[in-house]
Structures are given as C-alpha cells and as structure tokens.
Amino acid sequence: MSTLRELAERLGVSVATVSRALNDKPGVGAETRRRVLELAQELKYQPNLAARSLATSRTQNVLFIVHRRHFMDTKDPFYPYIMQGLEEALAGEGYSVILVTISDSQLEAGPTAMSVFREPRPSAIVLAGPDISSSFILATATLDIKTILVDNALSKSSLPAVLQDNQEGCRAATHHLIDVHGHENIALLRGPNGWISSEERTAGYVLEMTSAGLQPIIYSAADTTIETGQEAALHALQTRPETTAFVAINDAMAIGAIRAAREMGLNVPEDLAVVGFDNISWSGYTDPPLTTVSVPMRDMGRMTARVLLDRINGTLSTSTRTIAATDLVVRASCGCSESSESIPDRAADEKKIPEK
C-alpha cells in the first residue's frame, strides 16, 4: 500500500503537491501533475479513506435509507433493485452504499438521533420511499449533507428527487383500454391517499378518462395488496356491473381484480379487462398474463447515482426532478393477444425537469 508520502518522496516533491495533483486541485504545474498521476497509476495508489475522512470529516459512503417494513416489500419488491442500480453506478466512483433500514420510532426521533449521522458524515443520503416522513426529510436536509429522494418528493421543497413517470404510465395504460379495446366503463382500483406514486397514477387515469369524455370511477382500498384489490374489485363489480375494465394502481391489486372476476364467473379479458402497474416479476405468469406498466428500477438507481455525483462534485447546482420513463407492457389481460409483448424499450430515457 503506497501512501502520499511515498509518492512525494519518489518524485522529490511535497505531499501537499501530490495531494493537490491527485485531487484535481489548482496550484500544481502541469508537468508536475502529470508526473504525479503517472506514478500514482504505476504504483496503483489508493488513498486511505480513513485518513481522508478524518481530515475532511466526510466519508466516501452514501446512505441508502428506507423504511424497515418497506425495503423488501413482499408484494412488490422495489427498493432492492434501486439500491443495486445505485451501488453499481457508485462503485466505480469510489463510493460505497450502506443500507440503513429505519423503524417508525427512528423516523420519529429524526436523523440526528442516529449514529450513522455522526462524524465523519456520509457524502450523501438517499431517502427511498414515500413512507419517510417529511419531518424526517426536512431534518435531514438541514444537516448539510447532500440529500436526494427516490420514489418520493416534497411539494414545497427544492430537494432533488428521482421518480418514475407515474402519471404518463397510468395514462398510457388507460388510453390503451380506451383506444385499442374500446372500453368506456373503466374503474380505477387504488390504495390510500398520500403516497406520491398513487396520486400521480390516479391523476394519469383521471386525465385520460376526462380527455376521452369518460367518467372516472375510483375505488379506494385501505392497502394495495392482492386481497384488498380483490375486495375492491368485487365491490365494484357488484355495485356497477356495467364495469368492463379495471386500471389497478399496482400489479398486486390487478391480480386481486382477476381473482374477483373469476369469483364472479367472469372471464378475463373477454368479460373484464385488467391492467396493472409496476411489472413485478411474476406479472408475466398470472392467468392471463398481466398487461402492466414497467418501471425501470435499476435505472432509477443509476439515475440517483448520477444526480448525487453531480451534486457532490458541484457540477449541478439547480435542483431537479429526474423522471424515469415508464413503459406499457402489453400482455393478455387487457384483451390483446399475447404476442405483442415487446414494445421498444425506452426505459433508459430520462428527462430532467428543473423544478418550478
């Protein structure tokens, strides 16, 4: 393990100069810099992170904070994918990703009560999921650590956030039912209010319905599971038998809707069309295979890394929302024949929207 001093001695310069050269800081002659970089490469110099952290009181770590109940959600694992994308993109940049799952009581106690925020502090913090309370977010943001939200956003704040295009995804799904399959009585199956993705998906549905001159019908359940989806769909089918299609806020509820249809003796998609959202791994194996909207989760992790790096390096100062494109995945539950599944993948696209 070579050290700064070793490099300095070999080159006959001071450690300060070597440090400056290696860190791209001004005040080093071009030729000197070149020689330093060359030798560093040759000796495979790796900075000692503890020493750097001690001197700067910052680690090279990024905290991935997620609610304990939500990290590995059984009905819809979302955050592990994002974390992996983040890790893959950050590993090459010299940053490590630390998993921190927090409980309700920690959420309430706030970030300062957590030892992971002690000196030296992380380079950045990723707050993942809509169930991180805004008080926790706000408290974190005042800590002078780069903070970014994923699958969540604060309406009145300028915190950077990475989101999937919920509204457009749900709009496209609804549009498909209307335009391709000619449905008119399309009901939305959704969960409780408050989560940004639910709200945006609902907005997409409503937008498309009204712009097609159709009446939006919304059924809200207390949760977004197979069971609640089934219940809500059953209720919908009983109270409004004219319903011919469901847009579900996620795949679990969509699967519940298919079960409800079967329970009522209805065939999917002949008597009832169903579309979901998220494209979870087993949505292709339901009977019939589920038409749904895919969310590029790993890409969202990579996007998060990019935004973070931009902020850490000071390249990007304006606050932005980064929106990952979603894609309609057409299978059979909407009424299509399953052959047309592949739609060109624009998952890697991303657009940056300067906030306000």
Partner DNA sequence: TTGAAAGCGCTACCAA
Partner DNA sequence: TTGGTAGCGCTTTCAA
Q: Which does 5 bind (CB under 5 to 8 A by kind): DNA, a copy of itself, none?
A: DNA
How many chain residues are in contact with a copy of itself, going by CB under 8 A?
43
Judged by CB under 8 A, the residue of 50, 180, 348, 353 near a copy of itself is 50
By CB under 7 A, tell whether 215 contacts DNA. no
What's at 257, amino acid-wise? A
What's at 262, amino acid-wise? R
Which burial class, exposed, middle or buried, applies to 208 when counting CB atoms under 10 A from its CB (0-12, 13-18, 19+)? Answer: buried
Rounded Cα distance between 70 and 62, Å, is 19
Residues in 61-120 that interact with DNA by CB under 7 A: 119
The token pair at 61 is 């770590």
Q: Is the dihedral of CA 242, 247, 251, 253 positive or negative?
A: negative
Rounded Cα distance between 237 and 250, Å, is 19
Segment holding 300, helix H or strand E: helix 297-312
Residues in 118-157 that interact with DNA by CB under 7 A: 119
User: Which residue in 153, 110, 97, 146 sits closest to 125, CA to CA?
Assistant: 146
The token pair at 69 is 């109940």
How many chain residues are in contact with DNA, going by CB under 7 A?
32
DSSP classification of residue 153: -
The site map against DNA for 225-264 (x = CB under 7 A) is: ----------------------------------------
By CB under 8 A, tell whether 205 contacts a copy of itself. no
User: Which residue in 171, 226, 179, 172 sits closest to 202, CA to CA?
Assistant: 171
By CB under 8 A, tell whether 99 contacts a copy of itself. yes
Residues in 260-299 that interact with a copy of itself by CB under 8 A: 281-282, 285, 287
By CB under 8 A, tell whether 68 contacts a copy of itself. yes
Q: How far apart are the two ends of the chain, measured CA to CA in Å?
A: 49
Cis peptide before 47 (omega within 30 of 0): no
Secondary structure of 84-114 as H, E, C letters:
HHHHHHHHCCCCEEEEEEECHHHHHHCHHHC
By CB under 7 A, tell whether 10 contacts DNA. no
Rounded Cα distance between 89 and 128, Å, is 17
CB 20 within 8 A of CB 36: no
Smallest separation, CB 60 to a copy of itself (Å): 10
By CB under 8 A, tell whether 46 contacts a copy of itself. yes
Q: For residues 54 and 180, which CB has a smaller minimum distance to DNA in the complex?
A: 54
Smallest separation, CB 100 to a copy of itself (Å): 7
User: Which residue in 126, 73, 137 sits closest to 96, CA to CA?
Assistant: 126
Judged by CB under 7 A, the residue of 28, 97, 170, 332 near DNA is 28
Smallest separation, CB 321 to a copy of itself (Å): 25
By CB under 8 A, tell whether 343 contacts a copy of itself. no
By CB under 8 A, tell whether 216 contacts a copy of itself. no
Residues in 107-146 that interact with a copy of itself by CB under 8 A: 115-116, 118-120
User: Which residue in 166, 120, 164, 165 sits closest to 143, CA to CA?
Assistant: 120
Please name the residue that has the structure tokens 């805004």: 134
CB 187 within 8 A of CB 236: yes
By CB under 8 A, tell whether 226 contacts a copy of itself. yes
By CB under 7 A, tell whether 39 contacts DNA. no
Smallest separation, CB 49 to DNA (Å): 8
The site map against a copy of itself for 142-181 (x = CB under 8 A) is: ----------------------------------------
Q: Which does 216 bind (CB under 5 to 8 A by kind): DNA, a copy of itself, none?
A: none
Interface contacts to a copy of itself, rule CB under 8 A:
1, 46, 48-51, 53-54, 57, 59, 61, 64, 68, 71-72, 74-75, 77, 80-81, 83-84, 87-88, 91, 94, 96-101, 115-116, 118-120, 226, 255, 281-282, 285, 287
